[in-house]
Amino acid sequence: MVKLNKRTIVLEDKDQIQGFPKYTFSLTPLDKLDQYKNKTDRFIDVIAKISGVSNVAKVPTTSGDQQMRRVVLLEDLKGNMIELSLSGKRALEFDGDQVLDVGQQHHVIAIFVGTLVKLYKGEYTFLSGTSACRWYINENDIAEIKAFQKSLPSEPVPIKKTYLQNDDATHKFEEKSLEQLKHVDPFLDMGQRYQCTATIIGITENQTWCYKACKICNSAIIQKENGYKCTKEGCPSTQFEWKYKIPFIASDHTYNLEFMFFEKKGMELIGKSASTLRKQYEPKEIPPDITSWIGYKFTFVVRVLSKKSVKTIDPSFEVLMIKEKYQKEPIISFISSSGVVPAESSSSTMAEYKELPLLVPITSKDIEKKERSTSQPEHTEETQDMDIEPSGYD
């Protein structure tokens, strides 16, 4: 850590210094962090595997302002865990989506430098990562990362997606029963958000839990004679990835309606990506990871899926926010003859490290480049009302 004062003069050295290190850090074990609580005279560097990653959320600060935040769960080789709270630009630069994607099948080992040990409400210890914080993730030329990898089991535990509540989760949305939501107009009420509380009682019959999503616009990709084609008019994409499209049926005793979970909310609920589950289950074969949520009661913020709802008797809704989850309850009293599938699953020195498999390096996102670009708008938490139509699956 370098300390500067008003008398410090910084000069640029234009000569290339031989042997200048590419990386520099001084690692502190996670179980030795307590001695640095609320001390600001030195930054703390740590190494750990990433066990969980949250979404980016806008949260209130103690001063009453709002700030972007992301929480990363770190775990050392002894099982000690600590949360790292990334704030401001660091929360946006950290590529949580890629970490989650890689972390479903591979270890993700990171060195975080420039953190501080903080105490929340006098009792909860966490690491704070602000403007001084940087990270090296799965860098194969760092001996400390390879040594850490060597001590881990060969089979990784998938990284969990955790949920950090946005400040707008406290916003008062219009509360409606499912009987009232039944009368929502897919044209006049398009884009309106509503809050409802209901219990998941099943899955719509003859629908799939995932779909081939266009890599550009998330619309459905269909197979043609000469390859794949996006169903959205004008989209040139021919590449797809599997994403969630879970058609849960929910009830509040006033009515039963369909609530769709697309990729982000599906990952938030299940903790795994659709592409991970697709390796084990066919699109019409509902995974136990999904059916296990049948019987749970939730408070949702939803909006009507206009393009889907105009073709059906009852409207279908997209879940935009999971505001609260309640305990599991019996669903017998909810079930009626409405095409509901109950909770049944379909099936159930670097030389010493050269033999280790290569880790997948993960870099920071260039958020300033994204902000300058007008051709590719920033991806938001909510999904678009996508052109998703039934199609054949391989």
Domains of the chain by start residue, with CATH? 30-162 (2.40.50.140), 171-341 (2.40.50.140)
Cβ contact 76:48 at 8 Å: yes
* CB neighbourhood size of 114 (10 A): 18
Cβ contact 222:192 at 8 Å: no
Tens of pLDDT along the chain (394 residues) come to: 677 787 899 888 877 777 778 899 999 999 999 999 988 888 999 999 999 999 999 887 654 456 899 999 999 999 999 999 999 999 999 999 999 999 999 999 999 999 999 988 777 899 999 999 999 999 999 999 999 999 999 999 999 998 887 765 556 789 999 999 999 999 899 889 899 999 999 999 989 999 999 988 888 999 888 889 999 888 888 889 999 999 999 999 999 999 999 998 999 899 889 999 999 999 999 999 999 999 999 999 999 999 899 899 999 999 988 988 998 877 666 654 344 445 443 333 566 677 778 888 888 887 766 555 544 433 333 444 444 443 333 4
- Look at residue 369 in the predicted model and tell me its pLDDT: 63
How far is residue 319's CA from residue 328's CA, in Å, rounded to a whole number?
19
- Look at residue 393 in the predicted model and tell me its pLDDT: 38
DSSP-assigned states of every residue in 68-81 = EEEEEEEE-TTS-E
In the chain, how long is the greatest CA-to-CA distance? 79
- Look at residue 6 in the predicted model and tell me its pLDDT: 79
Cβ contact 82:125 at 8 Å: yes
Count of residues making up the chain? 394
- Look at residue 390 in the predicted model and tell me its pLDDT: 38
Burial environment of residue 75 by CB neighbours within 10 A (0 to 12, 13 to 18, 19 or more) = middle
User: pTM of the predicted model, to two decimals?
Assistant: 0.50
- Look at residue 381 in the predicted model and tell me its pLDDT: 39
Q: Which residues pair with 203 in a beta bridge?
A: 248, 341
Helix (H, G, I), strand (E, B) or coil at 249: strand
